[in-house]
């Protein structure tokens, strides 16, 4: 950093200036307009914890019911709702949002930046999650819960066997929460890749950032199949499109494929952030560095991808050919390799260090003792004959709780205790946390070891009661009693953290002696995070330069100049961390919560058959999104700005690859996987659904084919020409008209498919054609809106930026490519039949 001696009072003056620029509105409405990661993360964390409490109470109801044979505590209907909601709440409303909350809170500090890449997107994700989650809980309180299990298998979840709106609440509520998760994932990926401290190359990134990057990419690729599955099931329930009805060309196994294409990676989406926390906390507790950093990164990457190749191991009893079973059994056993690398890296880290038995360490030891057992029972379940024996028994219940509570909840509690001083500036002084640990961990093992055994003895899961005389009574009673002790322990943890947050002792900075950047910020972290963007020269910046916190506070890093009076962050090159651009961050706004309101309305209105309201809300989504983009786009060119240290950098929004381009790229990854899942579903039905071929195939005529080919070419070329015209100062009108023609031609070709097959409820083939055409039509409409935005910018005299045109070009390319593939898939069977 610069060698000039600092002036007295520089740090305080800088702090005041940055506070003025970055602080949210101090009034109550500040909670609705803030987009600061500290506020968003805290709210996320509080809401996720509330859902954990609700999920835990539901678990207690389950154990109360199963404590004795023939219990009259609950009837079968209530029990079905309770276990469905327990799984749903824990998986969708607690586990994923909780680690996202920690990522939102901690990532900017760890990476040495001031906020996440798209602060407003984070707020939007938060509120969509709150609205969607609340809808699911309100439905439960009204007795309208889904009762088909958290996996919602048809035909059980179909309109015939699950009448009422319970299943619809699940499908629409959960889909909106998945949209929220995808929004946060895009934000996280772009932040990790682009928003880091100067000099923070890939090899210097904190290990948690690696894990969370991997997980965010997994969310982008795992959630779309589930969103598609929900869309298919909801259209079947609401409109009668028979995707899962065998008699009309559907196949219920398609749901299982789509669900587990999401569901299995989901387990690793939950485990890997916890693993990232372990890899972060353990070296600090052992007063050493992580053993085998590169190996752990490689293990995380391989585990993430492997997890996508295991989905069929949840379907071993569905009659899949033996060769298919063998494929997935082999792939499932592979997972043990990267997991073991991580476990041995952590054990090695403990071995080479000097362990401090502090509270976070205690919970990490709880993790080791529990997760390894869960992993081993996982390998047992990967073996097909054993899997067949214990399928749908309580053995599987015990296995997944060992993995999820041992592998996720315990490390997350360790993380909360570890980061509490950083987030609140306070330390715990009661020994309540240790007492809670000694209640939770032994009680957990007693509960779920008993559940393992009762499962091996044959007790079925998801069954509301059991008869006497099967040898299950004592084990169930032990499990239930211990589970209540465990619940008391968890309540103590929450109480302990609550007490400490509001009345703990204030303490010194970096109490654990950590080596990563987040501990260089003041405690608790101010809204701006760092007074200046740090410069790092190693993987452990606080070890390399113990004075770094003071230097940052004095403004000796990048972007310490506040004279531009706006929120700024540094964008760096992905590999080397070299300063590249200056990002201007948006200020406080109510737009994200407004967009969340209209988005959630469009999702949830169909629950009460208010389709008109859903359509109206969708128009609202478009309008608010346009206002959002319009108000954040720069009005005039600034050229290069001074970033400090002699660096003059372009403003990101004026560059050819602005943050929006990166965000679009990763959003399109999710969109591409959604489209791929749609193609997979269509191919699956075509290949194995019993009532295929359909009575007749669609035979294309020449005009729609020409429209599709010409439209795709024009749509791909138009925005590209527009971007080139902007760069060279030429007129863009012709290029925009060409693009518009392309989008409309593609939409017309898609409409021709729908017009030719007017009864999507007749056969799954027709329903699939409507969905393919719908994909093309939706994206063509999106392209038209984007082109309209560009035209409006040009007409209003705001001028177009190359980056904006390139963003539209990216979407247009995707629309053209997937449009052609979708229409080819619709037309080819009829052409060759």
Partner 1 sequence: MTNILRLALPFTIWLIGFSAIYALQGLTCSRHWPEELEPRLALIGGAAVFVVIQGLALAALLALQSQSRFVQTAATILGTAALAAALWTVLPVLTITVCG
**Residues contributing to the site for partner 1 (CB under 8 A):** 193, 201-203, 217, 294-295, 297-298, 301-302, 304-306, 308-309, 312, 321-324, 326-328, 330-331, 334, 337-338, 574-576, 683-684, 686-688, 692
Q: Is the CB of 609 or the CB of 696 nearer to partner 1?
A: 696
Q: Is the CB of 388 or the CB of 429 nearer to partner 1?
A: 388
In whole angstroms, what is the distance from residue 703 CA to residue 700 CA?
9
Yes or no: say if 830 and 700 are a contact pair by the CB < 8 Å rule: yes
Q: Is the CB of 343 or the CB of 412 nearer to partner 1?
A: 343
What is the dihedral sign for C-alpha 492, 493, 494, 498?
Answer: positive
In whole angstroms, what is the distance from residue 197 CA to residue 569 CA?
10
Yes or no: say if 390 and 455 are a contact pair by the CB < 8 Å rule: yes
- The alpha helices in 195-312, defined as continuous H runs, are 207-239, 252-285, 293-306
Yes or no: say if 155 and 97 are a contact pair by the CB < 8 Å rule: no
Instruction: State in angstroms the smallest separation of the CB of 661 from partner 1.
Output: 12
List CB contacts of 693: < 8 A, sequence separation 6 or more: 765, 829, 833
- Given the structure tokens 């990267």, which residue do they identify? 338
Q: Is the CB of 55 or the CB of 249 nearer to partner 1?
A: 249
In whole angstroms, what is the distance from residue 306 CA to residue 646 CA?
45
Q: Is the CB of 294 or the CB of 469 nearer to partner 1?
A: 294
Q: Is the CB of 343 or the CB of 791 nearer to partner 1?
A: 343
Other CB atoms within a 10 A radius of the CB of residue 547 amount to 12
Instruction: State in angstroms the smallest separation of the CB of 735 from partner 1.
Output: 27
Instruction: State in angstroms the smallest separation of the CB of 586 from partner 1.
Output: 25
Instruction: State in angstroms the smallest separation of the CB of 666 from partner 1.
Output: 11
Instruction: State in angstroms the smallest separation of the CB of 338 from partner 1.
Output: 8
Q: Is the CB of 84 or the CB of 387 nearer to partner 1?
A: 387
Instruction: State in angstroms the smallest separation of the CB of 577 from partner 1.
Output: 11
Q: Is the CB of 675 or the CB of 789 nearer to partner 1?
A: 675
Q: Is the CB of 334 or the CB of 499 nearer to partner 1?
A: 334
- Given the structure tokens 């492997």, which residue do they identify? 306
In whole angstroms, what is the distance from residue 562 CA to residue 391 CA?
62
Instruction: State in angstroms the smallest separation of the CB of 658 from partner 1.
Output: 15
In whole angstroms, what is the distance from residue 306 CA to residue 73 CA?
43
In whole angstroms, what is the distance from residue 543 CA to residue 745 CA?
61
Nearest partner of 564 among 662, 638, 453, judged by Cα: 638
In whole angstroms, what is the distance from residue 516 CA to residue 280 CA?
9
Nearest partner of 561 among 673, 680, 646, 674, judged by Cα: 646
Q: Is the CB of 203 or the CB of 550 nearer to partner 1?
A: 203
Instruction: State in angstroms the smallest separation of the CB of 814 from partner 1.
Output: 18
In whole angstroms, what is the distance from residue 466 CA to residue 596 CA?
45
Give the orientation angle of helix 207-239 with respect to helix 659-688, to 10 degrees: 50
| Buried b / exposed e along 211-221 (16+ C-beta atoms within 10 A) | bbbbbbbbbbb
Yes or no: say if 318 and 253 are a contact pair by the CB < 8 Å rule: yes
Decide: helix, strand or coil at residue 52.
helix
Helix %, strand %, coil % of the chain (to 5): 70, 5, 25
Instruction: State in angstroms the smallest separation of the CB of 571 from partner 1.
Output: 13
Give whole-number Cα distances, 481 to 80, 441, 734, in Å: 22, 14, 74
Q: Is the CB of 118 or the CB of 328 nearer to partner 1?
A: 328
For residue 389, give both structure tokens. 């024996």
Nearest partner of 642 among 584, 730, 559, 566, judged by Cα: 559
Decide: helix, strand or coil at residue 99.
helix
Q: Is the CB of 203 or the CB of 609 nearer to partner 1?
A: 203
Q: Is the CB of 10 or the CB of 576 nearer to partner 1?
A: 576
Q: Is the CB of 342 or the CB of 782 nearer to partner 1?
A: 342
Q: Is the CB of 202 or the CB of 435 nearer to partner 1?
A: 202
Nearest partner of 749 among 719, 769, 728, judged by Cα: 769
Name the DSSP class of 25: P
Instruction: State in angstroms the smallest separation of the CB of 275 from partner 1.
Output: 17
Beta bridge partners of 568: 584
| Buried b / exposed e along 335-350 (16+ C-beta atoms within 10 A) | beebbebbbbbbeebb
Nearest partner of 230 among 292, 276, 284, 168, judged by Cα: 168
In whole angstroms, what is the distance from residue 204 CA to residue 541 CA?
9
Yes or no: say if 278 and 367 are a contact pair by the CB < 8 Å rule: yes
Instruction: State in angstroms the smallest separation of the CB of 85 from partner 1.
Output: 33
3-state secondary structure 105-116: HHHHHHHCCCCC
Beta bridge partners of 393: 460
Instruction: State in angstroms the smallest separation of the CB of 301 from partner 1.
Output: 6
Q: Is the CB of 153 or the CB of 684 nearer to partner 1?
A: 684
What are the two backbone dihedrals, phi and then psi, of residue 571, each rounded to the nearest 5 degrees? -105, 135
Q: Is the CB of 665 or the CB of 785 nearer to partner 1?
A: 665
């Amino acid at each position: 950093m610069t060698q000039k001696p600092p002036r007295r009072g520089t740090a305080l003056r800088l702090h005041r200036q940055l506070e003025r620029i970055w602080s949210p509105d101090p009034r109550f409405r500040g909670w609705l307009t803030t987009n600061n990661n500290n506020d968003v993360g805290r709210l996320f964390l509080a809401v996720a914890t509330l859902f954990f409490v609700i999920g835990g109470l539901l678990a207690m109801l389950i154990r109360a019911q199963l404590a004795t044979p023939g219990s009259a505590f609950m009837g079968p209907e209530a029990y079905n709702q309770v276990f469905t909601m327990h799984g749903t709440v824990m998986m969708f409303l607690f586990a994923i949002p909780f680690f996202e909350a920690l990522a939102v809170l901690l990532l900017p500090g760890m990476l040495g930046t001031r906020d996440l890449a798209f602060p407003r997107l984070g707020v939007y994700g938060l509120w969509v999650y709150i609205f969607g989650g609340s809808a699911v809980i309100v439905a439960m309180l009204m007795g309208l819960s889904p009762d088909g299990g958290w996996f919602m298998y048809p035909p059980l979840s179909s309109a015939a066997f699950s009448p009422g709106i319970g299943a619809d609440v699940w499908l629409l509520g959960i889909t909106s929460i998945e949209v929220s998760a995808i929004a946060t994932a895009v934000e996280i990926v772009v932040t990790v890749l682009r928003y880091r401290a100067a000099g923070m190359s890939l090899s210097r990134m904190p290990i948690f950032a690696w894990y969370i990057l991997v997980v965010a990419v997994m969310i982008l690729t795992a959630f779309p199949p589930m969103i598609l599955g929900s869309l298919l099931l909801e259209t079947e329930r609401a409109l009668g499109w028979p995707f899962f009805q065998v008699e009309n060309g559907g196949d219920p196994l398609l749901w299982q494929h789509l669900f587990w294409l999401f569901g299995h990676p989901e387990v690793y989406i939950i485990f890997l952030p916890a693993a990232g926390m372990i890899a972060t906390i353990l070296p600090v507790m052992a007063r050493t560095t992580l053993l085998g950093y590169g190996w752990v990164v490689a293990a995380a990457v391989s585990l993430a991808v492997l997890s996508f190749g295991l989905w069929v191991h949840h379907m071993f009893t569905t009659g899949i050919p033996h060769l298919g079973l063998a494929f997935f059994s082999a792939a499932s056993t592979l997972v043990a390799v990267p997991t073991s690398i991580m476990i041995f890296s952590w054990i090695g880290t403990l071995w080479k260090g000097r362990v401090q038995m502090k509270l976070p360490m205690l919970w990490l030891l709880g993790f080791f003792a529990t997760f390894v057992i869960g992993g081993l029972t996982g390998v047992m379940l990967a073996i097909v004959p054993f899997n067949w024996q214990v399928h749908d028994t309580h053995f599987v219940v015990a296995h997944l709780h060992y993995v999820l509570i041992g592998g996720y909840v315990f490390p997350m509690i360790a993380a909360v205790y570890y980061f509490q001083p950083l987030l609140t500036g306070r330390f715990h002084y009661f020994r309540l946390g240790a007492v809670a640990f000694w209640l939770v961990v032994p009680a957990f093992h007693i509960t779920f070891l008993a559940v393992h055994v009762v499962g091996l003895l044959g007790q079925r899961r998801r069954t509301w009661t059991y008869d006497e005389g099967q040898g299950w009574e004592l084990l169930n009673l032990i499990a239930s009693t211990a589970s209540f002790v465990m619940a008391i322990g968890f309540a103590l943890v929450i109480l302990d953290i609550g007490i400490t947050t509001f009345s703990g002792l204030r303490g010194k900075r970096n109490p654990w002696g950590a080596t990563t950047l987040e501990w260089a910020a003041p405690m608790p972290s101010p809204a701006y995070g760092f007074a200046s963007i740090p410069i790092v020269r190693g993987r452990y910046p606080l070890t390399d330069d113990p004075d770094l916190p003071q230097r940052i506070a004095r403004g000796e890093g990048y972007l310490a100049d506040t004279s531009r009076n706006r929120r700024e962050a540094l964008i760096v090159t992905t590999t080397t961390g070299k300063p590249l651009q200056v990002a201007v961050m948006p200020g406080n706004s109510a737009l994200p919560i407004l967009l969340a309101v209209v988005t959630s309305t469009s999702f949830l209105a169909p629950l009460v058959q208010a389709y008109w309201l859903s359509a109206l809300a969708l128009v609202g989504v478009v309008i608010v999104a346009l206002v959002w983009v319009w108000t954040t786009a720069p009005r005039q060119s600034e050229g290069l700005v001074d970033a400090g240290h002699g660096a003059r950098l372009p403003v990101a929004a004026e560059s050819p690859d602005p943050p929006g381009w990166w965000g679009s790229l990763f959003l399109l990854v999710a969109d591409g996987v959604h489209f791929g899942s749609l193609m997979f579903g269509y191919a699956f039905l075509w290949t194995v659904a019993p009532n295929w071929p359909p009575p007749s195939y669609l035979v294309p005529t020449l005009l729609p084919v020409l429209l599709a080919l010409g439209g795709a070419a024009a749509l791909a070329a138009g925005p590209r020409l527009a971007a080139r015209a902007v760069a060279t100062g030429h007129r863009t009108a012709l290029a925009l008209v060409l693009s518009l023609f392309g989008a409309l031609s593609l939409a017309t070709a898609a409409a021709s498919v729908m017009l030719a097959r007017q009864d999507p409820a007749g056969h799954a083939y027709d329903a699939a054609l409507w969905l393919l055409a719908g994909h093309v039509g939706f994206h063509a409409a999106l392209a038209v809106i984007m082109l309209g935005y560009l035209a409006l910018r040009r007409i209003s005299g705001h001028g177009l930026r190359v980056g904006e045109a390139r963003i539209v070009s990216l979407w247009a390319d995707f629309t053209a490519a997937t449009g052609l593939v979708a229409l080819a898939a619709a037309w080819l069977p009829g052409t060759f039949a």
